[in-house]
Amino acid sequence: MAETGTVFLVGAGPGDLGLITFRARELIAAADVLVYDYLVHPDLVDWCQPGCEIVYVGKKAGFHAVPQSEIEALLVDRAKAGKQVVRLKGGDPYVFGRGGEEARTLAADGIRFEVVPGVTASLAAGAYAGIPLTQRNTSSSLVLVTGHEDPNKHELQVDWAKLGGLRNTTLAIYMGMSRLPDIMTGLQDGGLDPATPVAVVQWASLGRQRSLTGTVATVADAVTEAGLKAPAIIIVGEVVRHQETVDWFEQLSLFGRRVAITRTREGNSGLRAKLEHLGAEVIELPLINVVPDVDPTLLVEIFSELGTYDWIVFTSAHGVKVFFEQVMRAYADIRALGLLRFACVGDATAREIEKYHLKVECRPEAATAEALADALIATDSLDSAKVVVVTGNLNRDTLVAKLEQEGRAIVDLLPLYRTEKLDLSEHPAAHDFRDKGADAVLFASSSAAEAYAAQGDSLKLGPTATVPQCGSMGPQTSASLRELGLAVDFEAAAPGLDELVTALVTHLND
């Protein structure tokens, strides 16, 4: 029988991916089974290793997608099968997360478990809505309390009147939105001044955060009017007054904007981070998947003559990575490359080559295959030269044809990876995009535009979705977008992620 696995009850934090712990990330990446819920950021799923079993047990306020007993049975079952199980919960697992119940069940079944704390929602609500939760002279205690969204549950009742009688206290109320008027009345019954300030923070820490402030007397009506709903934290106390002076997050230039970005072989985590740092809600569409695909016979053939080539050409950072992995596996010595000269296209590709302390001698200004071929031809070193082009399975024909015909080089192709279209029909990010649309969608390359268009119905917007403005990295990408029948609403002043983000901010805020 398999050795019993371990269950990790892991806090995923309030939503923003940066607020998850290192330990959580490490455990997700190593998990055999990931069980996660509604309040957990869906992109965390992308950190899982291939083959990880991913189970969504999402709950939304008011109804439970999977009953608690079934979740617990699932954890026990997978652990007994010898799996490493990560049970991810929004915020902290032991703060109104039923983590305690799950831990008890595991303990009773003799299953090993660990608990990884997370940033609980009230802390994020304070930080991201500009409300320090304690303050030396006015607020010396902080009460985390549940407002019981489900009146059918037989749970301990909170004595709101008693809480209303506390002085110098901040209340952080979880799950209180559907009973907000009752809660505010209860606090006043206990003697809380109706003029005490209250803030409501929905989706704290995320680009879709919304907040409002009022008083104990007025906040319930204000929430109804503004349409704020769960998940939200209600903060009651004098500390709310500080928001006017110390709010920072909601002031950011892309706060409240939904921006879709595409993930392609160029990668884009840099773009995502830049947008999120400006307060945007980012929807990352993983359009394609890059898988290593090495033909061993061809590899041996080319590697045995590696020293005889004049130039080696890379078209992506991914190609560089896989190439060096193979070189190191075969030779364990960088000198196997002899006096090869390096050519490449794109910043990320050049950076990857330079990591090995190798100089890139030829790199065109524009990040296109044509420009690369032209730049190489312009070196006047191609006639009868031996060139090896390391690529994937896309966008290589023009490059090779040009080098052979115009440059009169002898070109060998070394494909090391394959780019596959991902089926997005079931992906949560695509679902969100179809449902709500976005204020903008950014295309960082022609291949991103092509991969986006190739998705067809998987990215077709629903009737009430916001139609996004299309932003492009530069003339080349714009040309591809137009060819594909997509609009170009704004373009970066020069190719570069910062320039693309600047163009977006200008376009949306005009």
- Binding stretches for ligand SAH (CB under 6 A): 14-15, 39, 89-92, 95-97, 120-121, 124-125, 174-175, 201-205, 230-233
Tokens 């189970």 label which residue? 55
- Residue 149: exposure state from Cβ atoms within 10 A (0-12, 13-18, ≥19): middle
Residue written as token pair 């080559």: 353
Q: What are phi and psi of 146, to 5 degrees?
A: -95, 140
| Distance in Å, CB of 454 to ligand SAH, minimum | 34
* Measured distance CA(265)–CA(278) in Å, rounded: 24
Q: Smallest distance, Å, CB 436 to ligand SAH?
A: 17
Q: Which is nearer to ligand SAH, 267 or 428 (CB)?
A: 428
Nearer to ligand SAH by Cβ, of 119 and 287: the residue is 119
DSSP 155: -
Minimum CB–partner distance for residue 266 and ligand SAH (Å): 31
- State which residue, 90 or 319, has the beta carbon closest to ligand SAH: 90
Nearer to ligand SAH, 13 or 415 (CB): 13
The torsion of the CA quartet 110, 116, 122, 126, rounded to 10 degrees, works out to 170
User: Rounded CA gap, 262 and 500, in Å?
Assistant: 13
Q: Which amino acid is at 399?
A: L
Q: Give whichever of 37 and 266 is closer to ligand SAH, judged by the CB atom.
A: 37
Compute CA distances 379 → 344, 349, 376, 489, whole Å: 13, 20, 5, 37
Other C-beta atoms lying within 10 Å of the C-beta of residue 123: 23
**Per-residue buried b or exposed e for 359-369, using 16+ beta carbons within 10 Å of the residue's own CB:** ebebbbebbbb
Q: How far is the CB of 132 from ligand SAH (least distance, A)?
A: 17
Closer by beta carbon to ligand SAH, 40 or else 85: 40
Q: Which is nearer to ligand SAH, 203 or 490 (CB)?
A: 203
| Residue 105 to residue 95: CA distance in whole angstroms | 17
Active site residue 37: yes
Q: Tell me whether residue 59 is one of the annotated catalytic residues.
A: yes
Within 10 angstroms of residue 108's Cβ, the number of other Cβ atoms is 10
From the CB of 105, what's the least distance to ligand SAH, in Å?
17
Write down the least CB distance from residue 219 to ligand SAH, Å: 15
Shortest Cβ distance from residue 150 to ligand SAH (Å)? Answer: 11
Least Å distance, CB 258 to ligand SAH, is: 16
Instruction: Report long-range pairs for 448-451 (Cβ below 8 Å, ≥24 apart).
Output: 448/262, 448/264, 448/266, 448/287, 448/477, 449/477, 449/480, 449/481, 449/484, 449/486, 450/480, 450/484, 451/262, 451/264, 451/287, 451/288, 451/421
What are φ and ψ of residue 357, in 5° steps?
Answer: 60, 40
Considering only CA atoms, which of 286, 252, 167 is closest in space to residue 501? 252
Chain residue at closest Cβ approach to ligand SAH: 91
Q: Which of 43, 59, 109, 310 is catalytic?
A: 59
In 3-state terms the chain splits into helix, strand, coil percentages (rounded to 5) of 40, 25, 40
Cα(271)–Cα(250) distance, rounded to whole angstroms?
A: 20
Residues 37, 92, 432, 439: which is the catalytic one?
A: 37
Single-letter amino acid code for the residue at 366: A
Sign of CA dihedral 422, 423, 429, 430: positive
SS (H, E, C) 101-133: HHHHHHHHCCCEEEEECCCCHHHHHHHHHCCCC
For residue 202, the minimal CB distance to ligand SAH (Å) is: 6
Q: Which is nearer to ligand SAH, 121 or 394 (CB)?
A: 121
Query: 103 or 362: whose CB is closer to ligand SAH?
Result: 103
10: β partners: 88, 116
The catalytic residue positions are: 37, 59
